[in-house]
A and B are shown apart, each in its own frame.
Chain A
């Protein structure tokens, strides 16, 4: 029997360092991403500007989408912010803050769009498994 290895989890997601988080269909990916962003914003030390300002900005946009006030351009904005934080900070906390947001948008973009298109529904119920009628496609991690 082969033991599970780090490479088995390499699906282009970053929801923890070498660990994994299991979420069932009653959980909301947007809410979960917001929780992670809030954590990184709180942990940012405030020395370098991309991390200090960017983590707070991402947290505010995710809260906005989660509370049903988002607009479609916010998703691209989030993508652009995480791209500009990643790799440009002193320490890897900036990278770690950017990756969960990138992973959530990469894999669950339709859930973000559902939140924006259904601002009232998203406060009452979750996107849920019904939204993923097709099997979730996990792309092979590339260098990009």
Chain B
């Protein structure tokens, strides 16, 4: 019976995003369908990470309007949908940049995300490769209407390679998914709830495992920064060079960031959506030691 249904179902779903039609496999999310088109129609994503299972749906920057649910049921969806968590249906019509409602909601979300962000970009190591900077530039308004004291936290040292600045965190939960899905003996997670929720470790325990560097790379803002690179240089002065290390446990694809002949830091290789393939810290450290 199941096989018959499978035969009847069309191989691909047709979905129209901002008047561009694309054919995608069933089960694809709207965001990934938009990424197949690329360009301006792709909604921004702060918390969704394709390689981390269960990520997405939290930051609400990827909201889109579904003008037609599917071929069979053409009713529009009443609320804006998070495109990273909504799967496409055959004949779905999605509006992203063509919808005023989406632009308005997205500007609101950017304002909410920046509400308690310290905006200390001039002293932040992430500046220049920060997704929140890009998001604010693309979709934000010029000023904030928030006039109260911003939420602040103490800086925290979590492990030999990672510095945590909780004030900069936008609670995307990506690093907790990395801790959950890539590493054993997870000690890292979210404490409390609501607007005083914070990333922390189990009673300030150090994060000491081979894959901890991935947490730095998945962080869209400057909340988790690389201790080996802190205050050494600005990102835009360094030049990325692809490198490879034969590694039995990871893919070994890394990027060296050079200034002149000196290798200043090693990160994972990112694709055009700012996502990395997992690698372990041995690759990072071995290559860094090589350079010194």
Residues of A at under 8 Å CB distance from B?
41-50, 52-57, 60, 77, 83-84, 87-90
- B58 near A56 with CB under 8 A, answer no
Which of B19-27, B189-197, B264-272, B278-286 contacts the other chain?
A: B189-197
Known: A57-B146, A90-B58. A46 touches B79 (CB 8 A): no
Partner of A43, one of B60, B108, B146, B194: B194
**Shortest CB–CB separation between residue B110 and chain A, in angstroms?**
9
User: Which residues from chain A contact B60 at a C-beta distance below 8 Å?
Assistant: 48-50, 88-90
- A46 near B192 with CB under 8 A, answer yes
**Shortest CB–CB separation between residue A95 and chain B, in angstroms?**
9
B side interface size, CB within 8 A:
31
Partner of B197, one of A41, A46, A77: A46
Which of B112-120, B157-165, B216-224, B253-261 contacts the other chain?
A: B112-120
**Shortest CB–CB separation between residue B279 and chain A, in angstroms?**
28
A49 vs B173: C-alpha distance when bound (angstroms): 12
Contact with A along B175-200 (1 / 0, CB 8 A): 00000000000000010111111000
User: Which residues from chain B contact A46 at a C-beta distance below 8 Å?
Assistant: 171, 190, 192-197
- Closest A residue to B61 by CB, please name it: A49
- A44 near B105 with CB under 8 A, answer no
- B112 near A53 with CB under 8 A, answer yes
Secondary structure of the B contact surface, majority rule: loop
Residues of B at under 8 Å CB distance from A?
57-60, 63, 78-80, 82, 104-105, 108-109, 111-113, 115-116, 145-146, 148, 170-171, 173, 190, 192-197
**Shortest CB–CB separation between residue A35 and chain B, in angstroms?**
17
- B105 near A49 with CB under 8 A, answer no
- B59 near A49 with CB under 8 A, answer yes
User: Which residues from chain A contact B80 at a C-beta distance below 8 Å?
Assistant: 87-88
- A47 near B112 with CB under 8 A, answer no
A88 vs B266: C-alpha distance when bound (angstroms): 38
A80 vs B145: C-alpha distance when bound (angstroms): 11
A43 vs B196: C-alpha distance when bound (angstroms): 11
- A-B contacts besides A43-B194, A49-B109, A77-B145, 5 pairs, CB < 8 Å: A44-B194, A44-B195, A84-B108, A87-B78, A87-B80
**Shortest CB–CB separation between residue A97 and chain B, in angstroms?**
11
- A88 near B195 with CB under 8 A, answer no
A-B contact pairs, 13 of them (CB 8 A): A41-B195, A45-B193, A45-B194, A46-B196, A49-B59, A53-B113, A53-B116, A57-B146, A57-B148, A87-B78, A88-B108, A90-B57, A90-B82
A127 vs B173: C-alpha distance when bound (angstroms): 45
User: Which residues from chain B contact A84 at a C-beta distance below 8 Å?
Assistant: 104-105, 108-109, 111-112
- Closest B residue to A50 by CB, please name it: B112
User: Which residues from chain B contact A83 at a C-beta distance below 8 Å?
Assistant: 108
